[in-house]
Amino acid sequence: MPLGEFELIQRYFAQVAEASSDASVVLGVGDDCAILTPPASRQLVVSIDTLVEGTHFLPDTPADLLASRLLGAALSDLAAMGAQPAWLTLALSLPTANAEWLKRFSERLAELCLEFKIALVGGDTTRGPLTLTAQVHGFVPEGAALVRSGAQVDDLICVSGTLGDSRAGLEAQLKGVEQPGFAPYLSERFFAPSPRIALGLSLREFAHSCIDISDGLLSDLAHILKASGGLGARLQLEALPLSGAILKSYGQDQARQWALTGGEDFELCFTIPAEKLANLAHLPVPIAVIGKVTQAPDICLFDRGIPCEISGSGYDHFLKQSPVE
Amino acid sequence: MPLGEFELIQRYFAQVAEASSDASVVLGVGDDCAILTPPASRQLVVSIDTLVEGTHFLPDTPADLLASRLLGAALSDLAAMGAQPAWLTLALSLPTANAEWLKRFSERLAELCLEFKIALVGGDTTRGPLTLTAQVHGFVPEGAALVRSGAQVDDLICVSGTLGDSRAGLEAQLKGVEQPGFAPYLSERFFAPSPRIALGLSLREFAHSCIDISDGLLSDLAHILKASGGLGARLQLEALPLSGAILKSYGQDQARQWALTGGEDFELCFTIPAEKLANLAHLPVPIAVIGKVTQAPDICLFDRGIPCEISGSGYDHFLKQSPVE
């Protein structure tokens, strides 16, 4: 028997909402709007993100992986602002009300809400081609948000974690796995990104600018440089942080290519004055210094001091076909 | 030449964002998140709504009508809470980056943002089946929001405007127009609902409960009665406010049926103590008293005092096929 929309929401999402709720949620799921109490003297930061079947993921992707992919990408935007997560709303278009799908999705969602201390406060479910939209809401002290526009000449350019893994994970899905031993790790990096919330909070005090790597390092770094008044950068390719998995499965050339242009790593790229770098030494997440901000407005690549070029650029939905299709 | 995603956002939505922005928008479109300053001592109310081609509207619906339909429905949720609109985010999945479509959509969007004093502060555009999601954000003084759960026995049940027109407007699209003279009005009610923001603000002081009519009067009234502890209602069918257009095009029986079950009128249904009703007399929007809240937990229908029944109930996406398909 088909489930009614209301029963469906009640059964699968009311529990998530209740489990993740806190005192700031005056009224959650179940009225025309949620009623929320913003903390005093804080700025609200919000971001909305959509995943579409066929554009961002393959048909029949398990629902729990979609939950972690959706929330990971959305929370990564809060991380890039140095924001503390607070509230989540979801808009789900589903071809059918499939109980098994909803169970897997909502259970993983609940785990992530608790892990990242974000409360599900509202949503909309509609019938349609599989499309998942999440809006995340977070808070920063007044004037403390990390933005793209603060980079300065001679800032060090840093990235967290390793780059290119997400693109490699996608490749493994599309074309099969060359090195079976490593695929699970790379696939996990694609489906379950690690939003760098704690790092973002720490960077508020030290970094001049920050962005999360969603379009690809070169493309996202270009956003910082453009927003900061038309600056440039020198990047050392040998400093790009690459995982053992990507190197072993795809080799250094391909790994570097994907590290620069692959996108959807959801690591942070930030610029910081050299003298502040030591303040990040205590953080559990690895930080790599990959270059320096320059006055000259181009991004120049060097391999052990020798200038080089690389083909391809960041990922742009409307410019070219998505690799998923 | 296909447009790039960034250029597309820049060209069509940056202008809307700029035109609609106010001092509360510290940073709008163009970073990982928007940065917003909530007003002091206010509660934030949020709602997210999705329209899907084939489920909520027919293919080839003009983009300006989709803008007014999307924003009208979303703002109506703020109206139902008695909230003052503040900020808007959009997630658009588009099959192609069609410049003419984007122009029409964004121009109508800009008009509506200015009319309802809501600022476009962020969004996401992706490639996919046409799916439009809007999240609206508004504010109420602490504890002042209208909710569903406050109805009391003997409250009068009131609705704004006229009911059933939106469903009639959909019918005219699906099956052709019987009375050509009236179809534009009914279609306009479907595509360009009038969110009752000013009424919602006025009701905060007087109404016990409120909801916007999105699923159909019977279904939405049932939400109020259930949320208010399992109350019931007596409704006078002869008091249902019906437009001349719907009566002339479809006759009284069909008009009443759609007024009770049609949905998507985006009028407000609220309950109010009889002695407070006079306070609403000065409002420009027509208010009809259609019944009374009862202790007995059923909704009983009367036609000039004689009990009667009506078939059909509110609209529920997953329970039955949408009339659009």
Q: Are residues B215 and B281 in the same domain?
A: yes
Q: Looking at the structure, do residues A135 and A154 belong to the same domain, yes or no? A: no
**Three-state secondary structure call for residue A87:** strand
B238 and B166 assigned to the same domain: yes
Ligand-binding site membership of A220 (annotated): no
Kindly state the DSSP code that residue A240 receives in the 8-state scheme.
S
The three-state (H, E, C) secondary structure of chain B, written as one string: CCCCHHHHHHHHHHHHHHHHCCCCEEECECECCEEECCCCCEEEEEEEEEEEECCCECCCCCHHHHHHHHHHHHHHHHHHHCCEEEEEEEEEEECCCCHHHHHHHHHHHHHHHHHCCCEEEEEEEEECCCEEEEEEEEEEECCCCCCHHHCCCCCEEEEECCCCHHHHHHHHHHHCCCCCCCHHHHHHHHHCCCCCHHHHHHHCCCCCEEEECCCCHHHHHHHHHHHCCCCEEEEEHHHCCCCHHHHHHHHHHHHHHHHHHCCCCCCEEEEECHHHHHHHCCCCCCEEEEEEEECCCCEEEEECCEEECCCCCCCCCCCCCCCCC
B318 and A2 within 8 Å at the Cβ level: the answer is yes
Residue B313 has pLDDT above 60, yes or no: no
Q: Is residue B185 part of a domain?
A: yes
Cβ distance A319 to B4 less than 8 Å, yes or no, reads yes
- Residue among A32, A42, A87 with most chain B CBs within 10 A, to mutate: A32
| Predicted local confidence at residue A312, as pLDDT | 54
How many Å lie between the alpha carbon of B270 and the closest alpha carbon of chain A? 13
Residue B202 lies in a domain: yes
In a shared domain, residues B156 and B11: no
CB < 8 Å to A48, chain B: 89-91, 122-124, 133, 135
Q: What is the distance in angstroms between the Cα of B98 and the nearest Cα belonging to chain A?
A: 11
Residue A44 placed within a domain: yes
Same domain, A85 and A176: no
B48 → closest Cβ in A44, A55, A122: A122
C-alpha pair distances (Å), B254 with each of B61, B239, B260: 25, 15, 10
Residues A134 and A163 in one domain: no
pLDDT at res. B311: 63
Q: Considering CB atoms only, which of B2, B33, B77 is closest to A47?
A: B33
**B253 marked ligand binding residue:** no
Whether A276 and A221 map to the same domain: the answer is yes
* Domain end call among B117, B141, B165: B141
For residue B44, give the chain A residue with the closest CA: A36
Model ipTM value: 0.91
A40:B40 CB<8 A: yes
Domain total of chain B: 2
**Residue B2, pLDDT score:** 45
Does the CA dihedral A203-A205-A208-A210 come out positive or negative?
positive
**Does A128 share its domain with A168?**
no
Q: Which of A47, A93, A122 sits opposite B50 (nearest CB)?
A: A93
CB contact under 8 A, B52 and A128: yes
Letter string b/e over residues B219-238, b meaning 16 or more CB atoms within 10 A of that residue's CB: bbbbbbbebbeebbbbbbbe
The C-alpha atoms of residue A56 and residue A17 are separated, in whole angstroms, by: 26
Residue B123 marked as a ligand binder? yes
- Burial track A73-112 (b if 16+ CB lie within 10 A, e otherwise): bbbbbbbbbbbbbbbbbbbbbbeebeeebbebbbebbbbb
Question: Looking at the structure, do residues A50 and A113 belong to the same domain, yes or no?
Answer: yes
Mean pLDDT of chain B: 90
* Residue B91 placed within a domain: yes
Q: What CA–CA distance (Å, rounded) separates A257 from A245?
A: 15
Q: CB B317 to CB A127 under 8 A?
A: yes
Determine, yes or no, domain membership for B325: no
Confirm whether B161 is domain-assigned: yes
Residue B134's nearest CA partner among B193, B71, B211 is B71
- What are phi and psi for residue B183, nearest 5 degrees? -60, -40
Is the domain of A85 the same as that of A181?
no
In chain B, the residue whose alpha carbon lies closest to the alpha carbon of A57 is: B128
Select from A47, A83, A87 the Cβ nearest to the Cβ of B122.
A47
CATH number of the domain at A233, please.
Answer: 3.90.650.10
Question: String of b and e for B151-163 (b: at least 16 CB within 10 Å)?
Answer: beeebbbbbbbbb
Lowest-confidence region among A279-293, B8-22, B126-140: B8-22
pLDDT tens digits, A218-242? 999 999 999 999 999 999 999 999 9
Distance of CA A126 to the CA centre of its chain: 25
Residue B324 has pLDDT above 60, yes or no: no
Tell me: is residue A253 an annotated ligand-binding position: no
* A292–chain B nearest CA distance, Å: 21
Cα–Cα dist B166/B183, whole Å: 11
Tell me the chain A residues in contact with residue B316 when contact means C-beta distances shorter than 8 Å.
4-6
| Same domain, residue pair B208 and B102 | no
Determine the residue among A7, A29, A33 to mutate to test chain B binding: the one whose Cβ has the most chain B Cβ atoms within 10 Å.
A33
Positions in chain A short of pLDDT 70: 1-6, 9, 177-181, 311-325
pLDDT score, position B321: 39
**Could you count the other beta carbons within 10 Å of the beta carbon of residue A63?**
19
Read off the DSSP letter of residue A228.
T
Decide: A293 and A271 in contact? Cβ < 8 Å: yes
Instruction: Tell me whether residue B71 is in a domain.
Output: yes
Contact assessment for residue A137 and residue A44, using Cβ atoms and an 8 Å cutoff: yes
* Torsion, Cα of B22, B24, B28, B33 (10° steps): -170
**Domain contains B314:** no
Q: What is the pLDDT of residue A325?
A: 32
User: Cα B54 to chain center, whole Å?
Assistant: 19
For residue A303, say whether it is annotated as part of any ligand binding site.
Answer: no
Look at A135 and B83 and tell me if their CB atoms are within 8 Å.
no
Cβ neighbours of residue B112 under 8 Å, at least 6 residues apart? B67, B68, B71, B72, B118
Among all chains, which residue has been given the structure tokens 């964002």? B17
Which site among B11, B33, B46 would you substitute to test the A interface, given the most A Cβ atoms closer than 10 Å to its Cβ? B33
Considering only CB atoms, B322 lies closest to which of A51, A127, A129, namely A127
CA distance B249 to chain A (A): 30
Asked which of B80, B106, B141 is the last residue of a domain, the reply is B141
pLDDT of residue B216: 94
User: What does the DSSP 8-state code read for residue A179?
Assistant: S
Element (H, E) at A26: strand A25-27
Q: Please give the residue range of the domain that contains residue A137.
A: 5-141
Residue among A221, A203, A78, A87 nearest B34 (CA): A78
Question: From the DSSP assignment, how many helices (H) and strands (E) are in chain A?
Answer: 8, 13
Would you call A124 and B50 a contact, using CB atoms and an 8 Å cutoff?
Answer: yes
CB-based burial of residue B174 (10 Å sphere; 0-12 exposed, 13-18 middle, 19+ buried)?
Answer: exposed
A45/B34 touch (CB, cutoff 8 Å), yes or no: yes
Q: How many Cβ atoms sit within 10 Å of the Cβ of residue B181?
A: 10
Distance from CA of A211 to the nearest CA of B (A): 7
A43: which 2 tokens? 């700025």
pLDDT at residue A307, rounded to an integer:
92
List the single residue in B30, B46, B78 with the smallest CB-CB distance to A89. Answer: B46
Q: How far apart are CA A89 and CA A124, in angstroms?
A: 8
pLDDT above 60: residue B159: yes
pLDDT in tens, B191-228: 899 999 999 999 999 999 999 999 999 999 999 999 99
Instruction: Tell if the CB–CB gap between A90 and B48 is shorter than 8 Å.
Output: yes
Residues of chain A found within 8 Å of residue B147, distances taken between Cβ atoms: 27, 31, 35
Q: Which of A44, A140, A147 sits opposite B31 (nearest CB)?
A: A147
A56 or B318: whose pLDDT is higher? A56
Report the relative pairing of strands B156-160 and B287-294 from DSSP bridges: antiparallel
Please indicate whether, in this complex, the C-beta atoms of A227 and B31 are within 8 angstroms of each other: yes
Query: Do residues A125 and A251 touch, judged by C-beta distance below 8 A?
Result: no
Mutate to test the interface with B, among A47, A48, A321 (most CBs of B within 10 A): A48
- Would the CB atoms of A43 and B36 count as touching at under 8 Å? yes
Contacts of B121 in chain A (CB under 8 A): 46
Check if the beta carbon of residue B146 is closer than 8 Å to that of residue B204.
yes
Query: What would the two tokens of residue A193 be?
Result: 């990104």
Among A109, A141, A173, identify where a domain stops: A141
Q: What is the CATH number of the domain that holds A116?
A: 3.30.1330.10
Residue A35 backbone phi and psi in degrees, to 5: -115, 125
Mean per-residue pLDDT, B278-301:
95
pLDDT for A128 equals: 94
Res. B16: pLDDT tops 60: yes
Question: What pLDDT is stored for residue A318 in this prediction?
Answer: 45
Same domain for A10 and A32?
Answer: yes
Query: Which residue's structure tokens are 């990922």?
Result: A315
pLDDT at A184: 84
Q: Do A217 and A313 meet the contact criterion of CB atoms below 8 Å apart?
A: no
